[in-house]
A and B are shown apart, each in its own frame.
Chain A
Amino acid sequence: MARKNVLHFAIIILILVLFLPLYARQRTGRPGATLRNRRNSAQANRSNTSNLRQQPNSTDSRFGPFETDDKYTPNNRIDTLVMATFREEGIEPARLCSDAVFIRRAYLDVIGTLPQPQEVREFLKDSSPRKRVALIHKLLRRDEFADYWSLKWCDLLRVKAEFPINLWPNAVQAYHRWIHDCLRGNMPYDLFARELLTSSGSNFRVPQVNFYRAIQGREPSAIAGAVALTFMGVRLENWPAERCSGMEAFFSRVAYKTTSEWKEEIVYLDPASTGALQAVFPDGVAVQIPAGQDPRMVFADWLIAPENPWFARNIVNRIWSWLTGRGIIHEPDDIRPDNPAVHPRLLAYLEKELVKADYDLRRIYTLILNSRTYQQSSIPRSDHPEAEALFAYYPVRRLDAEVLIDALCWISGTRESYSSAIPEPFTFIPEENRTIELADGSITSQFLEMFGRPARDTGLESERNNQPSDAQRLHLLNSSHVQAKIERSARLNAAIRAAKNNRGTLVNLIYLNILSRYPTQAESAAARAYFQTKGINIRQAVNDLAWVLINTKEFLYRH
């Protein structure tokens, strides 16, 4: 009898221990009333409510909102190779990042876009162990992937209508569209490079010929410099003069002529110089190009050959640097013998994988994004001076100018208008276009300038400047531009309506919209306390909270 009572008691205690925390968690996250989705769909209503009730454990885990307690277990070969160096150097790598950090990071890195709250909720709720793999697969096939990476490629290829590149607007549009199509169709990278290097024709009708126009200077040395920088990651000015001139020979017959169409230009091979040509490949091998053969083709065939030591290395190293903030060889466009790779075996592995995958760049993106190394938290666990350079954590980086303004527009439901007043006729960019879709690097925008958009004058990666400045902080903290966006935000209005006076829900919604995660209990409490501030109404308080979150490092940085 007594033993039976004890057993009952124990069972009751066990039940309490198991279920009380869950109950408590439900209460803290529970919306007092139904929650209305922005689109006011009844179904979304139900799913929102249930999602908000089931806040994922990680939000308030003992590791905080940014990391998990996962130990370093390799996801793929990248990790095994990187881990070997960590062990040699005695570096403890960072923890695995939390799901909330991962979804935001993956969206920003892969498609330059913030995840929608609904996408965040679904991802956090998903219990599949392969959900990160699935998300990466999906993101690489979204339209915004082509939008965002066109922006990147247009930086490298200097796509700009005006001084000092002077492609002019029609050619800019054609070239941008061609690049976008290549990325959306996932054109193999060797073919992409070959197209750019060997095409002839009108800059309007064969857009890839604009490669030869988007260079400051059209002499063979300028062209060779641009080719080496773009496809080999090499700065020709560091090379001995005779090696440069050997490479210049391949481009010595590129010629240009105008037509009666405004700013149309034909890029072609100079028919006047048809004799045999002596040229030297960058690896020092001399070649005699017979009469009648396009020397650019000879160069392109050499460049894209699988055994070429520069071609695959340059692009895998760049992709690594675009995704992780730093090249395995750094700067990624300064490859030279005295600038060694920090993980040579990793670089060699990625090169081989690219060749094996027939130059499918998405294969490299997939490998890197799925690696445990990429999915590390940005919170270092090692004070080794080289920890960041060796990728022992994900380095924080300020959002690109274009991505940042798009994010601000999305949060506020506002748009930016871009136009180009010269040359005539004026160009007005449709307002529904996002900034990452801008084709022309010479569209004037004070915001983009202030936040370090590259000038697209040289194609150097370092042209993009994501360093913070006083002027940027002033702008985000106190400008009428940002203020107006917040005050006019239809999205914030919708959040207020949806939360129906439940302050906890309101704070959750604002966090999901801006930081793509749920607040911690402490954050929620601080925000709700702020809502009690005397002298400001709820909309002002919401504006203030939105303003604060926009000004956090968490929002302004990829982390």
Chain B
Amino acid sequence: MNMQKATEFMTRREALRRGLLGTAGLALLDPLRLQAAPAPSRPRAKSVIQIWMWGGPSHIDIFDPKPDAGYDYCGPLNKPIATNVDGIRIGELLPLLAKQADKYSIIRSMTHGNNSHETASYIVQTGREPGRLVYPCVGAVVSLFKGYDQGYKGLVPPYIVLTQPQGRFSEAGFLGPRYKPFATGGDPNQNPFAVEGIVARGITDQRQRSRRELLGKLDSLGDSMPGNPHFEKFRQCEESAYDLMFGDARKLFDLSQEKDELRDQYGRNTFGQSCLMARRLVENGVPYVTINYKGWDTHKQHFETMRRKLPEMDAGMAMLLQDLADRGLLDSTIVWWSGEFGRGPKVQWNPPWNGGRSHYGKCFSAVVAGGGFKGGQVVGSSDAKGLEVADRPVHPTDLIGSMYSLLGIDPDGPMPNPRGMDLKVMPQDDESAGRLKEIT
């Protein structure tokens, strides 16, 4: 990448942003920006990569094996493997992650008790119970405190989702659309990675430019009211969009710039290449990346799905940790692996499930690595069959509050909101054992 050019480009973008902030259309949100004070403490983490296990991954087949619980619980997956940390064992389908265990910590006592996807997704990603207000999720909060309002000048938006948004869940909550993620669409395992809106297939730059020229000639309504503030904002968005289309953002999304061997190690599949893409994004300063990894809602054919998907997850996530560490990025990048809940430890062998697992919010696992989180640790534990939290319950509130602290966002500080209410960023949960001091 031509750095000098990139700098000029960013400066121009910044200028555009600043222009954008001043326009009347955003007046409603202005109080948010004023309230959002600069981060108080010196942050240890700069970025978060959230691996979102959409559907709820089974805890006892992955990071919390219970080989002694018997066939009704383990099914065929009853031979956990040792890791490179003494005393920590994980599921047998994760040989590569077993070699990286010194880099991450496993929380085996996650709990919120909710078994419905949408509500549990909300709880795990906002740290809040459902109520009158819809709170923003972690990505939107990070985008508020570390995004454009705080001088973020990256090539691409500060909150990126690879590749599809989660849906049924308003990421930005009451913060509003400005803090929503940019979902890339496309498939990073295809060449090119057709990032929706940024990398168009079949339209050359030349043709895109001649279209733009014609658009300039046929903008009769715009020409008839020069200086219209609504149109001025529209024009600025259009400039930014063209900057993204013709600028260096495309190079950022161009995975062919990576070595083939490395791409193979990540796994030539959508998840593996998403992990690689996530590394490229945080390397370029993007503060929040969500990999929305679907397919974990295994009511049926659970074990078949585990055998198919876990090796894919194992390769992508293990390589991501290794690669981040190799590049010195792991110290400043939090990797957060979690779904909305775990899965019922007791296998449902009866029809119609025929070997499936149900939703389970009472006890499940999450994994954190990097950005100030210690590696090689286990936090809390579940009972002998993975049914209940046995020790040190961790509510999503505790985990999220810990991440905010590492990011330099004061979890006890004020949470800006359009109605001017007295809210805190991520207050402590009364019933759990508090933030994760043992691994930060």
Contact = CB atoms under 8 A, between A and B. Distances in A.
Interface string B188-225: 00000010111011110001101100110111111011
A422 B200 contact: no
A125 to B, nearest CB: 22
A465 B244 CA distance: 23
* B131, B202, B220, B221, most chain A CB atoms within 10 A: B221
A452 interface: yes
A483 B203 contact: yes
Interface size class of A (residues with CB under 8 A): 35 or more
Nearest to B203: A483
A475 interface: yes
Nearest to B134: A457
A64 B240 CA distance: 30
Interface size class of B (residues with CB under 8 A): 35 or more
Interface string B80-114: 00000000000000000000000000000000000
Contacts of B231: 396, 553
A163 B124 CA distance: 14
A467 B203 contact: no
Contact of B170 (A378, A379, A455): A455
A282 B162 CA distance: 50
Interface stretch (A17-25, A145-153, A442-450): A442-450
Interface stretch (B174-182, B383-391, B401-409): B174-182
A396 B233 CA distance: 12
B252 to A, nearest CB: 14
B132 A475 contact: no
B218 A478 contact: no
A469 interface: yes
Contact of A470 (B201, B225, B237, B419): B237
A324 to B, nearest CB: 14
Given A164-B130, A474-B198, A552 B222 contact: yes
B395 to A, nearest CB: 18
B28 interface: yes
A551 B170 CA distance: 27
B234 A468 contact: yes
Contact of B177 (A217, A469, A557): A469
Nearest to B241: A473
B25 interface: yes
Interface in A368-424: 378-380, 395-398, 422-423
A248 to B, nearest CB: 14
Contact of A163 (B26, B169, B182, B214): B169
B147 to A, nearest CB: 13
A307 interface: no
B164 interface: yes
- List of 4 A-B pairs having minimum Cβ-Cβ separation, nearest first: A474-B197, A444-B167, A473-B241, A554-B221
Interface of B: 25-26, 28, 116-119, 122, 130-132, 134, 157, 164-165, 167-170, 176-178, 180, 182-183, 185-186, 194, 196-198, 200-203, 207-208, 210-211, 214-215, 217-222, 224-225, 228, 230-231, 233-234, 237-238, 240-242, 244-245, 419
10 contacts: A396-B230, A422-B118, A446-B183, A468-B237, A469-B178, A474-B245, A478-B241, A552-B220, A553-B231, A557-B221
Interface of A: 64-66, 162-164, 216-217, 222, 237, 378-380, 395-398, 422-423, 442, 444, 446, 449-450, 452, 455, 457, 462, 465, 467-475, 477-481, 483, 520, 523, 526-527, 530, 533, 536, 540, 544-545, 547-549, 551-554, 556-557, 559
